[in-house]
Amino acid sequence: MGRKCSRRSLMEFPILLIHTLFLLFFPLPLLSEHNNFVRQPAGQLIITPHQRSHSDPQQVHISLVGKEKMRVSWITEEKHAESVVEYGTESGEYSAKSTGEHTSYRYFLYNSGKIHNVVIGPLKPGTTYFYRCGGSGPEFSLKTPPHNFPLEFVVVGKSLSLGFDISLLLHRLVCFCLRDLGQTEWTASTLKHVESREYDVALLPGDLSYADSQQPLWDSFGRLVEPYASKRPWMVTEGNHEIEIFPIIYPQPFQAYNARWPMPFQQSASTSNLYYSFQLVATHVIMLGSYTDFHAQSQQYNWLQSDLANIDRAKTPWLIVLLHAPWYNTNEAHQGEGESMRQAMEQLLYNARVDLVFAGHVHAYERFTRIYDNKVDSCGPMYVTIGDGGNREGLALMFKNPPSPLSLYREPSFGHGRLRIVNETHAHWSWHRNNDTDAVVADGIWIESLSSSQACSIQQDDPNEEL
Ligand SMILES: [Fe+2]
């Protein structure tokens, strides 16, 4: 898809130049991924264009926010567009209306559109709603999660991204107006496979857009995922590609991420959008931040301790954690990057009998056994790395040898995972590899909740017991 050199493109040139100089002199996480492992070559990229009017909503996505409510987020280029959502259970007939808030941000010469956030509800469980954002533009529909089990999560990591790397950046500096960007064929394949089967909620453990300070790529990513993220709640946590700091000028990380992907942190008594939890159908999901302070007595650590202590496992048999940099990893890529967080927080998760920990970051799939402190432990969480959604950087092909007895399945292929919680005691995890146009179930396992295990019972009033 070709495009002419626009005035906006020319305005972005100084940003790219500054960013390139920054990349040359400062070690961004982007560069740290290129060490001694080899990835498959990436595919051609195309950008997802904006084809609606300035006042119409774009980049629409929804997320869970408290009991029986959803947050609808979207962006308009028109600054006077209203932050309202009309909705109802009949197409074209909107019996309810909610008003919300808006924000925006600036990054060098880039000015974001008007970012709208509106909470709608209470909504009935397992129900399809039709909605319209800002009083104009297309109608969208969403389905709320069920009231009872079964509950199905889709887990996609690393990411449904547009992707971007230094070679592309340098190439853009040479022929910025001629170059087209966008998604990879693997991204499209993963998205198609995710939607081909019913699910209730998507979980994404970080590295969403790979914008890496190229702010227009956030917009392109939002448009890319809108057909999916406007239908089912997408619950995300941040990865290293969302940091986007620039010394002195933009020292605060995650500016774009926090503005564009607000998560329900206030509802779980967190003070940061970078870590939070939510409750859904007797399942408690905790989203941790790998790139904010996690050491003992940090705000995140204290919040996690308090959040775990407030879970009643008799009423909430399933406990799931997501984070970005894996604590257990036998791939050559990103070795040891989650180790300090593991040392700080693993005991909290173990004592609370967390059932599953999902991570991203590594561009491959790997499933471990139940672990505590680097040893097989039937009362520890099962760890899964699922960093293979379809990024431009390709796959992390090299695993360490000999294989660790802790690692039960590992494969460098793109795909997505599904966690189907059948009832209070049993769930099924499956990993679906992208085989060209088909999604093939390559790995699957039944899991029993630790809350139903007599051998792993804990004192409910003291989840942070000393070992
Ligand atoms: Fe990452």
Q: What are phi and psi of 465, to 5 degrees?
A: -55, 150
416 is catalytic: no
The strand pairing partners of 248, in sequence order, are none
In this predicted model, what pLDDT tens digit does every residue of 223-244 receive, in sequence order? Answer: 999 999 999 999 999 999 999 9
Residue 332 pLDDT: 92
Residue 464 pLDDT: 55
Distance (angstroms) between ligand 1 centre and the Cα of 59 equals 23
The residues of the chain that CATH labels 3.60.21.10 are 151-456
User: Pairing between strand 318-322 and 356-359?
Assistant: parallel
User: What is the three-class DSSP state of 323?
Assistant: coil
Residues in Cβ contact with 198 at an 8 Å cutoff, skipping those fewer than 6 apart: 152
The catalytically annotated residue of 334, 361, 416, 432 is 334
Distance (angstroms) between ligand 1 centre and the Cα of 236 equals 13
Q: What are phi and psi of 432, to 5 degrees?
A: -110, 110
pLDDT at 25 over 70: no
Q: What are phi and psi of 364, to 5 degrees?
A: -165, 175
Look up the CATH superfamily of 58-143: Purple acid phosphatase-like, N-terminal (2.60.40.380)
Distance (angstroms) between ligand 1 centre and the Cα of 388 equals 11
The residues of the chain that CATH labels 2.60.40.380 are 58-143
- Report the candidate in 316, 404, 318, 398 with the shortest Cα–Cα distance to residue 364: 398
In this predicted model, what pLDDT tens digit does every residue of 411-424 receive, in sequence order? Answer: 988 889 999 999 99
CATH code for 151-456?
A: 3.60.21.10
Specify the higher pLDDT residue, 444 or 2.
Answer: 444
> Mean pLDDT, the chain, as a whole number?
84
Distance (angstroms) between ligand 1 centre and the Cα of 208 equals 9
